[in-house]
Amino acid sequence: MKPTLIPKEIREKAKYCFECGICTASCPMAELLPTHYNPRSLLQKVLTEPEKTLNESRLWLCAWCYKCYKRCPQGLKPPEIFQLLKTEAVKRRLFNGFKTAVSVIEENVPFPVICWYTCFHPERAEMADEKIADALEKLNIRHMQAKKKETPTSHKEKVAIIGSGPAGLTAACELAEKGYPVTIFEALPAVGGMLRKGMPAYRLPRKTLESEIQRLHDLDVEIRTNTTIGKDVDFDELWRDGYEAVFVAVGAHKSRTLGIEGEELSGVFDALDFLWKANMLQKVSLGKKVGVIGGGNVAIDAARTALRKGAEEVFILYRRSREEMPANPWEVMEAEKEGVKIEFLVVPQKILEKGRNVAGLECVKMELGELDETGRKRPVPIEGSDFSRELDTIIVAIGESAEIAFLPKEVEIDRGNRILVNPITMETSMTGVFAGGDTVTGPATVIEAILAGKRAACSINQYLTKIKKEEKRHRDN
């Protein structure tokens, strides 16, 4: 074994692995591809026989969600351990494992190219290689040129999908392939949900998004954009129009506000609105200095996008420490490499103004106290630590929730404005209504939304099949 493949400090830490299996139990890829991927067994082999894993497809199937790390009692970071081996495989020109992994995703995910770009990060510099780029381009071309599958409608039961993010797209595709007539209702003027609204083009090329969405048209999925349920179409109207099952996958597009003085000033942006304008190539005036408030993936995307939009300095202000930061650790590292500065243990107090425009931000420094309900240390203000920072633009990214006021009262929601579902079937407290994605979990990863869409499609099929059998039994009697 070459000790350089797995650094000594990682091998030493791994000696104390409890073999508890929490990493596998937490992993959406292990649930999505149970016969292909198991992070616990892969981690064991990587640590004991790293040379033998260099050409394995499993090495390339980690979706970088860090669920394993966040719940690991030893704090191991499997994504970064696996990355060491992937980088070595590229150096040695070993690509069979990667090519097999591409085939596995293509066979099991309705939108494999989107999945590769958003979950597996092929753009990473140390992985950038012409063979990887070529394989993904060929995958993209195959999907652009794929002939329409013959999937004649074999069921009369119509299904409504509310929302066209990754969960809604996946469910629509899976149900259409099973022969159900499917209609997608999307409030935005174009399909894609958060993939289109919040995902920067450097992470998901627009050409890829458009070519993958063509698959819905090929499957005769009806798409109704600019249609908001509860405004343009009442929820109860869906039943009257003959839909027998509904999947709610509206995502989490409602941003939280700071609740401080000056939030109404010109130059204060909601992060999702800012990303939407950037993705729609609208002109956004940022000035030289931009402050991004928040510590999640949306904050990171907003900060990196601000740099690409011409900002000279971008600061992320986060109220906790780096360890508590909810953003993907790799995304944080990439942002810092690009020049984004992160200030930890800082909370905004007041937005300063000059002529109704943003002039700066008044903040207070924090220290970590006792654990709160999330299991993280609660930030506590340090008396007398107030300071100000000059800024031209402030982007607020402190969390998102779902817009679900359109749902009937029969559908239960929790205190966090998330829909409560049966975790196995994805059915809500209202018969025939299913839900999944960020509207259930809160902001999460694309692969988790894809998994929710597949799970919901399976449950909807079983639900409608049961109805059909009951109707037949009733007729026979």
Q: What is the pLDDT of residues 105-120, one digit of tens each?
A: 999 999 999 999 999 8
Radius of gyration of the chain measured on its C-alpha atoms: 23
Quote the CA–CA distance of 43 and 69 in Å, as a whole number. Answer: 12
Tell me which CATH code domain 8-145 carries. 1.10.1060
Q: Which CATH number fits domain 158-253+402-476: 3.40.50.360, 3.40.50.720, 3.50.50.60, 3.30.70.980?
A: 3.50.50.60
DSSP state of 264: T
15-19, 139-143, 277-281: which has the highest mean pLDDT?
277-281
pLDDT of residue 127: 57
Average pLDDT on 246-257 reads 94
pLDDT of residue 1 exceeding 50, the answer is: no
φ, ψ dihedrals at 392, nearest 5°: -95, -25
pLDDT of residue 140 exceeding 90, the answer is: no
pLDDT band for position 151 (cuts 50, 70, 90): low
- In words, the CATH class of domain 254-400 is alpha beta
Q: Where are the domains of the chain?
A: 8-145, 158-253+402-476, 254-400
pLDDT of residue 78: 92
Average pLDDT on 253-271 reads 94
pLDDT of residue 288 exceeding 50, the answer is: yes
What pLDDT digit, counting tens, does each position of 301-321 carry? 999 999 999 999 999 999 999
pLDDT of residue 243 exceeding 70, the answer is: yes
Kindly report the average pLDDT of the chain as a whole number.
91
- Is pLDDT larger for residue 215 or for residue 183? 183
Quote the CA–CA distance of 155 and 162 in Å, as a whole number. Answer: 20
Average pLDDT on 119-126 reads 69
φ, ψ dihedrals at 16, nearest 5°: -100, 15
pLDDT of residue 126: 53
pLDDT of residue 124: 61
pLDDT of residue 420: 98
pLDDT of residue 370 exceeding 90, the answer is: no
pLDDT band for position 300 (cuts 50, 70, 90): very high
What pLDDT digit, counting tens, does each position of 6-58 carry? 888 888 888 788 888 999 999 999 999 999 999 999 999 998 899 999 999 99
DSSP state of 319: S
pLDDT band for position 125 (cuts 50, 70, 90): very low
pLDDT of residue 391: 97
The token duo for 99 is: 């090519």
The token duo for 340 is: 């984004």
φ, ψ dihedrals at 254, nearest 5°: -95, 110
Domain pair 158-253+402-476 / 254-400, same fold: yes
User: The sheet that has 313-317: what strands, in order across it?
Assistant: 268-270, 393-396, 289-293, 313-317, 341-343
pLDDT of residue 3 exceeding 60, the answer is: no
Beta carbons of 437 and 166 less than 8 angstroms apart:
yes
